[in-house]
Amino acid sequence: MEDLPDALIGEIVKRVSSTSDLSSLSLVSKRLYKIEAESRHTIHIGCSLRPATDAIVSLCSRFHNLLKVDINYSGWTQDHGNQLDNHGLRILSSYCLSLSDITLSFCSYIDDTGLGYLAFCKKLITLRLNSATKITSSGLLAVAVGCKNLSALHLIDCNKISGAFEWLKYLGSDGSLEELKVKNCVGINQYSLLMFGPGWMKLQRFVFEFRNIYSIFEPKDPSYVANCQYRYDFSCENLKQLSLRRIVTVEEIGLCSLLGKCKSLEKLCLHFVLGLTDSDMITLAQNCSNLRSISLQLEPVFCEGPEGRVCRTPLTDESLKALAGCRMLQVVELTMFGCDYAYPEIGFTQEGLMMFFQSCPIRDLVLCGANIFDDEGMKALSSAQFLQTLELMDCVYITDAGMCLLADSPSLVNLTLRQSDGFSDVGVGEVVRARKLNSLIVEGCSRVSQKAVLGTAKSVRYERYYPGYGKLRRSSLSFGQD
C-alpha cells in the first residue's frame, strides 16, 4: 500500500460505497485519513448530527470536496436536540464551494434566509426540498437568481410556496431548468406552473402530482375563454418525461395541453386525471412518435355516452386504437381502480385490449383491475412476441385455463400475480414448468400455495397477503418517486 500513489488510492477509496467502511478506512493511518477526506464527495446528515452547528463545521472542514449533501430530519423529535439551522447552511455554502446537489428534508429550522445562502453555491445543479415547512417563494427566488446552473428542482410537500411566482418566471426566462417536480404543494396549482413560459422549451422531465384528492378548488385558468378554441403560447418539444396525478381539466385546458406539444415524449404517467378524454390520447398518439412507456391509472367518472350519462373509466377503445399506432411503445400499465365486477363500468373492452396487446411491441405490461379480461384475453398475451415481464393484479376472471396459455409465451421471463383468486396451483404450475422464469412474485392469491412456487424461478417471493395498491413501487413505470 505504501508504494501506491495517492491518486490511485483515491480512486480505490471512491469505489467504497459504505459510509461505515469509509470511516473505518480513515482510521488506519494519517495518509488514508487525508486521502479519504479528499475523496469523499457525498455525505448524509440527520438526527445524529449533534451539536448540529459544531458538527457541520467539523464535517465541512474535513470534506472540502463535497459535491452532494443530503440533510434529512425525518423522524426528528426534541430529544434529538437542535436541527441544522440557517447558520449551518451558511457554513455549508461557504466551505463547500463545489456543491452541485443538495437535498433538504424535514428541515424545520431552515427558512428563506437559510435557503438564500445557497445562492453562493454557484455550481449547484440539483436542489430537492421535501417537507420544507418554512420555505416560501422568496427563498426560491434567491436560489433561482444566484444559481445559474440549476437544472433540477424538486418541491415535495412544501405548502408555504404560494402567492407570487417570480421564481418560476425567472427560471423560465433566464434559467437552465431541465427537470421540475412539484408534488403535494397545496399553494402551487397547474395554472401557476404555466407561468414557466419559455422555460418549457428547455424542460425534459416534468412531474406535477397531488397525493390523495383532486385539486378541484384551485383557481380557474385566467387564459380560458368559454366556447373558444385556445392554445397556450409555449413550446415543450424537448420534454421527454411527463407525469400528472390528480389534476382537474374539466372546463379549462390546463396541463393536459402538454400532450399535444411534447414531440420528443418518451415516458408518460397519467394517474387519476379528471377530465382526461379519448381526444387527449388521440392527440398524444398523433404527436408523440417516440413514446416508449405509458402508465394510465383510471377510476370511474360520469361520462356522456351513446346511451346517455354513464359512470365508467374515462377512456375507451378509441384510445387503445390510437395508442396501437405507437410503434415504439414497450412499457405499459393499465390500471382500472374502484370498478366493481358489474358496475361502474370499464371503458375498454376485452377486444380492444387484445388488439392493443397484439399491435405494440410491449415488453413490460401491468394489467390491474381488468374485470373484463378473461381466458380469451390471455390468448393475446400468450402470443405477444416481445412480452418479457407481466403483472396481473385483481384480474378476477382469469382461471387456470388462461394461466396455462402463458406456458406458450415466447419471451416471458418475469411474472407477478397479485390479488387474483381465479387460478390455482394447477395453472401457475403449468407456467413455471414450461418457462424458465427469472422472477416470480405471488401476493394475495388465495388459491396459490407457497409450496407450488418455491424454487420455480431464480428469484421467488410469496406473500399470503399483498401490500396494498398504494404501497406498490414499479420502477420501470414511474419516474416521479422520491
Nearest to 187 by CA among 234, 144, 135: 135
Query: The cell 411491441 sits on which residue?
Result: 361
Residue type for position 452: A
CB 286 within 8 A of CB 273: no
Q: How far apart are CA 471 and CA 394, in angstroms?
A: 15
* CA–CA distances in Å: residue 337 to residues 296, 299, 304, 430: 11, 5, 20, 29
Query: The cell 418541491 sits on which residue?
Result: 155
Q: Tens of pLDDT along the chain (482 residues)? A: 666 676 776 666 666 667 666 666 666 666 666 666 677 888 899 998 888 888 999 888 888 889 999 999 999 999 999 999 999 999 999 999 899 999 999 999 999 999 999 999 999 999 999 999 999 999 999 999 999 999 999 999 999 998 889 999 999 998 899 999 999 998 998 878 878 989 999 999 999 998 876 555 555 665 666 655 445 667 889 999 999 999 887 655 667 778 888 899 999 999 999 889 999 999 999 999 999 999 999 999 888 777 778 889 999 999 999 999 999 999 999 999 988 877 778 999 999 999 999 999 999 999 999 999 999 999 999 999 999 999 999 999 999 999 999 999 999 999 999 999 999 999 999 999 999 999 999 999 999 999 999 999 999 999 998 877 666 666 555 555 56
- List where CATH 1.20.1280 sits in the chain: 1-40
Q: How far apart are CA 297 and CA 479, in angstroms?
A: 15
In this prediction, residue 64 carries a pLDDT of: 83
CATH of domain 374-481: 3.80.10.10
User: Of all helices (H) and strands (E), which one includes residue 258?
Assistant: none
In this prediction, residue 268 carries a pLDDT of: 96
Task: Give the list of residues 6+ apart from residue 72 with CB closer than 8 angstroms, or none.
Answer: 44, 45, 46, 103, 105, 106, 130
Query: Using the 8-state DSSP alphabet, how is residue 69 labeled?
Result: E
Q: How far apart are CA 82 and CA 327, in angstroms?
A: 56
In this prediction, residue 229 carries a pLDDT of: 47
- List where CATH 3.80.10.10 sits in the chain: 374-481
| Residue count (the chain) | 482
CATH 1.20.1280 is held by the domain 1-40: yes
Q: How far apart are CA 437 and CA 413, in angstroms?
A: 4
Give the chain's radius of gyration (CA, Å). 26
